[in-house]
Structures are given as C-alpha cells and as structure tokens.
Amino acid sequence: QKEVEQDPGPLSVPEGAIVSLNCTYSNSAFQYFMWYRQYSRKGPELLMYTYSSGNKEDGRFTAQVDKSSKYISLFIRDSQPSDSATYLCARPGGNFGNEKLTFGTGTRLTIIP
Amino acid sequence: GAVVSQHPSWVICKSGTSVKIECRSLDFQATTMFWYRQFPKQSLMLMATSNEGSKATYEQGVEKDKFLINHASLTLSTLTVTSAHPEDSSFYICSVRQPNTEAFFGQGTRLTVV
C-alpha cells in the first residue's frame, strides 16, 4: 500500500465552482501533510500545510485532515482558470524536519471559463 | 522562502552522452538537497538525497553510477545523467528544505534523450 494515495483525475469544473481534492494515507502516525500546486513544466509550489486534524484556511483554499478516516482534503472556493494545475498532496519523512517528501500521484485540475 | 534555481530548464542530448543539471540554493545554505524525477502525468519520485560534503543517499532502484550527484558546497548540487538513454527522458526537479519548514523546488529540467 502506498503511503499517500490520490485520484489522478483529470478533474474539470466550471469557473466559480467549489473544488474538492482528496488524498488518503496509510499510517495513522502521520501528522504533517502538505498540498503543492504544480503548473505544467514547472516545479511544485507549496499551497498549504496542515498538522494533525481539523481545518486550515488561507484565502480561497481550505485544507482538512480527518485522522479517523486517514483522509486529507483541499477545497478551493470560487475557482478561477488560474487554478488549473496539478495538485499534489505530500507528507514529510520526519516530523516536519529536514526530510524527504513522499507525494501522491497528483490530481490534474482544469477550471473551465 | 528559499529561492532554488535549476539549470538548464530544458536539454536535448544524444543517446550515450552525459548531461549535468545544476541546482542552486540562492539565499539559503542547504546541507541537504533532494533530487526528484517526474514522468509525464505521474507524480514526483525521489531519486536521491544530496548531502553536502558526503556521498548522496539513493532510493531503492536508482542506479548511483548512472545518476551521479555532487554536493560540493552549501549552495550547489549537481546531478549528472551518465550514458543517457531515451528511457531517461524525464522532468528532473531539485528541492531544498529548511529545518522545520516547507520544501522549495527548482523550476525543473526537462531532459529529452534522442
């Protein structure tokens, strides 16, 4: 079983819709998670990171962790064409230390104007 | 956040030749850098961890003699793909992580071996 699993999509939604992106993880000991956005032929950039359970909000983006079901989610409100990208969930090897990241497969998202 | 510069952004080489990719941490002294590979429509897969002043640590299944990593200074790590073949064509990305914070990625290098 992979450490972090993600539906690769692709996912297409109309502009202004709410987008829900999801990942599952295998080890209940994992505490830190990140969401990265990657535009085509570019390196990933960090959107948000979360620790333990609950929600974290940043502008139009909300990250959510459900430890009971080992499920992490990223919600995008009022989606824009500029949000079209691949979204990757990730976890660090250690407790947010100087460790490697393990990524999900990424979900390719297209926002249709 | 840290600024990571990768060069070149795109390279084409002939089969059997070697290609060097540079990763520079412009505003942070990185004792550790990470090299990832990403095939089309797939996620990033860690290839190796580059350690300043010592040997790199390779992930299982990655040939250390084929993918040579040198981390001679706190701001520069290089990845050399030796005797490249078409199956090595991929998107190579480096990253640095400051302790207890996020990872920052280079813009990636697209390698095409013909």
Residues of chain A with pLDDT under 50: none
In the sheet that B76-81 helps form, which strands lie side by side, from edge to edge?
A: B4-7, B19-25, B76-81, B67-73
- Integer-rounded Cα radius of gyration of chain A: 13
The C-alpha of B86 sits at a distance from chain A's nearest C-alpha, in angstroms, of 19
Q: Hey, what are A22's tokens?
A: 């999801």
Preferred mutation among B4, B36, B101, B102 to probe A, highest tally of A CBs within 10 A: B102
Which pLDDT score, from 0 to 100, does residue A94 have? Answer: 59
The per-residue pLDDT for range B82-99, each reduced to its tens digit, is: 999 999 999 999 998 776
CB B3, CB B107: distance < 8 Å: no
Instruction: Find the farthest-apart pair of alpha carbons in chain B and give their distance in angstroms, rounded.
Output: 41
Band (B28; pLDDT cuts 50, 70, 90): confident
CA A45/CA A78 separation, integer angstroms: 20
Band (B32; pLDDT cuts 50, 70, 90): confident
Tell me whether B46 touches chain A (CB under 8 Å). Answer: yes
Which pLDDT score, from 0 to 100, does residue A30 have? Answer: 77
CB A67, CB A53: distance < 8 Å: yes
CA B69/CA B92 separation, integer angstroms: 13
Which pLDDT score, from 0 to 100, does residue B107 have? Answer: 94
CA B109/CA B77 separation, integer angstroms: 14
CB A33, CB A64: distance < 8 Å: no
Which pLDDT score, from 0 to 100, does residue A101 have? Answer: 84
Which pLDDT score, from 0 to 100, does residue B95 have? Answer: 92
Whether residue B1 is predicted with pLDDT greater than 80 in this model: the reply is: no
Tell me whether A40 touches chain B (CB under 8 Å). Answer: no
Band (B41; pLDDT cuts 50, 70, 90): confident
Average pLDDT in the B4-9 region?
A: 95
pLDDT, chain B, mean: 91
| Residue ranges of E strands in chain A | 4-6, 11-14, 19-25, 32-38, 45-51, 54-58, 61-66, 71-76, 85-92, 101-103, 107-112
Which pLDDT score, from 0 to 100, does residue B65 have? Answer: 95
Tell me whether B60 touches chain A (CB under 8 Å). Answer: no
Whether residue B37 is predicted with pLDDT greater than 60 in this model: the reply is: yes
Q: Hey, what are A90's tokens?
A: 């990730």
Preferred mutation among A21, A39, A58, A101 to probe B, highest tally of B CBs within 10 A: A101
**Yes or no, beta carbons of A98 and B34 under 8 Å apart:** no
Torsion sign over Cα B83, B84, B88, B94: positive
| CA angle (A20, A57, A78) in 5-degree steps | 50
Which pLDDT score, from 0 to 100, does residue A91 have? Answer: 86
